[in-house]
Amino acid sequence: MNVEKISVSLPIELSKDLENYMKNCQIRDRSKVFQMAIRNFLDENSVENREVIGILSVIYNAQATLDITEAQHKDLISVISTMHIHINEEDCMEAIAVKGKKDEVVKLSSHISSIRGVKKVRLTTYYLNENEDNYMR
């Protein structure tokens, strides 16, 4: 693997937090931590409109259930499957498996984020290459 060494400046507290985390979790490779963080950042913020697969995690007040379900039914092209979890009497969590062009998936995420009662939304995506896209059909 070709690698390039870079230098990164961090606030002291952030550096200490990272060192403590790595020590507590017995992680020895700081480079791997940075590689994963950069990959996640690029995947989440890329404007490249290729085919992706991912999970949309949503935490919301149960009153938003119908609106969230309706949003998924309007976007059946992107939604593969869902898993609904009851957190407590008032709150729910939903893991929505999605697949489609990045802009379509981001649009669904944005729409769900705008629903009243939604507390947190996190979209995690992975870009599919051509072979993986054919495998998923």
Q: pLDDT for 65-85, tens place per residue?
A: 999 999 998 877 789 999 999
Strand 118-127 to 51-61 pairing: antiparallel
For residues 92 and 60, is the Cβ–Cβ distance under 8 A? yes
Q: For 96-117, what is each residue's pLDDT tens digit?
A: 999 999 989 988 999 999 999 9
Does the domain formed by 51-135 have CATH 3.30.70.1150? Answer: yes
Question: Domain extents for the chain?
Answer: 12-45, 51-135
* pLDDT reported for residue 43: 76
Closest CA to 79 of 52, 64, 100: 100
Of the candidates 128, 109, 131, the one whose C-alpha atom is nearest the C-alpha of residue 52 is: 128
- Output the pLDDT for position 135: 54
Mean pLDDT to the nearest integer, 109-127 = 93
pLDDT of residue 39: 84
Q: Give the alpha-carbon dihedral of 50, 51, 55, 57, to 10 degrees.
A: 40
Structure tokens at 19: 């060192």
pTM comes to 0.72
**Residue range 47-69: average pLDDT?**
92
Q: Which DSSP string do the residues of 75-118 spell out, in sequence order? A: TTTTEEEEEEEE-SSSEEEEEEEEEEEHHHHHHHHHHHHTSTTE
pLDDT confidence of residue 132: 60
pLDDT of amino acid 41? 82
* pLDDT value of position 134: 55
Mean pLDDT to the nearest integer, 119-126: 92
